[in-house]
Amino acid sequence: MNAFTQDPPHIMTATTASCLIRYVEVWTPSPDNPGQVILESANLINPENLTPISPSVTRFNDGEGAIGSAMRQRGTVIFQDMPCADLERVRNETGADITAFMAFPVYFEDKLINVVAFGLIDGHGAVEIWTRDDRDELSISGSFYGGLEAFEYISQHVKFPKGAGLPGVCWKQGIPKMVNDPNGNPNFIRSFDRDPAKLTSVIGLPISRSYGYPASILLLMSSEANPLAKYSAIVKVEADQPTEEVPLPKMQATAIECGSNGSESISWQQAAVDSVANCGRCSIVTGDPIGDGYHSAIVVPFSKKGRTDRVMILAF
């Protein structure tokens, strides 16, 4: 798909829908302690701007809190019930009504480069964690559902072999994927017809690796009422393999899978990809590179075979 020549679909704005992601943190491994991460940025996501936050906690050790648990488990963790120290911390320090707090690690091959955390509001949408079970299938091991009771019930009784459904496809191919209009897509085999909210797009992310395959699959689900972000995309990039002489090679966006709530022809996508290439890690983009009504974006790289292969963009 050549996204740069395709007509853009309708863009859903913050006046028509509230984004499910309300808060974002990015943590980076400490240069002095490999078993510790330090805060790189924390931001409250408002409809018109990104507000920097100064959390009281600026470092976590391996296994400590939600951030350290994501490091220790090499996978996604979700907390939505009180008491939870991180959920309470975010609520108190932002003043926002955060319903759930999730964190997931980002790796370049086997090297941890970031831990990303999202604060989610109450609304229609879902987050699922799929992990390998003793039958070599994917079973759900963690979740957050908003207004999708029937879909939640079905999901608890579903398993995915390698290559089946969106989790199985991401597991087999080891790359992020996006599905639009999941009810009509053969890669999304579950139904949500009995729920009041319609899912419009689903992102599948491979998290960490085990025996050559992702250790788990993270699904992020948008509804028409509550998209994850105002714009979401998985961008395929071409990048050279890093070397000692060129540890951060340039990346060229070549194709885009775009959510139903955004445009595939926006000009700043390459700038978002460049922001990752310039630092080799997750990036928060604001200011001049952002256009088309977006004020900020989080950009998360995913690697395969020793080079960055896909980049997820969530813009607000």
- Give, for all 316 residues of the chain, the pLDDT tens digit: 333 333 333 333 333 468 999 999 999 999 999 899 999 999 999 988 999 999 999 999 999 999 999 999 999 999 987 678 999 999 999 999 999 999 999 999 899 999 999 999 998 899 999 998 888 899 999 999 887 787 788 878 888 888 888 999 999 999 999 988 877 776 676 655 565 577 888 999 999 987 778 999 999 998 888 999 999 999 999 999 999 999 999 999 988 887 755 566 677 889 999 999 999 999 999 987 777 788 999 999 999 989 999 999 999 9
State residue 193's pLDDT score: 59
Tell me whether domains 19-121 and 229-316 share a fold: yes
Which residue has tokens 């798909």? 1
Alpha-carbon distance of 33 to 260, in angstroms, equals 42
State residue 10's pLDDT score: 34
Which among 162, 129, 164, 122 has a CA at the least distance from the CA of 146?
A: 122
What single-letter DSSP state applies at residue 72?
Answer: H
* Tokens encoding 262: 């955004």
* Tokens encoding 251: 């990346």
List the chain domain ranges: 19-121, 123-228, 229-316
- 85-94 and 65-73 helices, crossing angle to 10°: 130
State residue 112's pLDDT score: 96
Alpha-carbon distance of 63 to 71, in angstroms, equals 7
Alpha-carbon distance of 163 to 144, in angstroms, equals 24
Instruction: Spell out the CATH class of 19-121.
Output: alpha beta
To 10 degrees, the CA torsion angle through 99, 105, 106, 111?
170
Alpha-carbon distance of 145 to 294, in angstroms, equals 26
Helices (H), 122-268: 149-155, 165-173
Superfamily, domain 123-228: GAF domain (3.30.450.40)
Q: Most distant CA pair in the chain: distance in Å?
A: 56
Alpha-carbon distance of 227 to 13, in angstroms, equals 10
Element holding 88 (H helix, E strand):
helix 85-94
Judge contact between 104 and 115, C-beta under 8 A: yes
Judge contact between 214 and 206, C-beta under 8 A: yes
Question: Based on C-alpha coordinates, what's the Rg of the chain?
Answer: 18
Alpha-carbon distance of 141 to 192, in angstroms, equals 20
Alpha-carbon distance of 116 to 312, in angstroms, equals 12
Residue 34: how many other CB atoms lie within 10 Å: 10
Alpha-carbon distance of 101 to 226, in angstroms, equals 16
How many residues comprise the chain? 316
Cis peptide before 34 (omega within 30 of 0): no
Alpha-carbon distance of 19 to 29, in angstroms, equals 29
Which residue has tokens 């700038």? 271
Which residue has tokens 């701007």? 49
**Helices and strands of the chain, counted as H and E runs:** 5, 18
Judge contact between 159 and 189, C-beta under 8 A: no
Alpha-carbon distance of 24 to 110, in angstroms, equals 24
User: Out of 3.30.497.10, 3.40.120.10, 3.30.450.340, 3.40.50.300, which CATH number does the structure's domain 229-316 have?
Assistant: 3.30.450.340
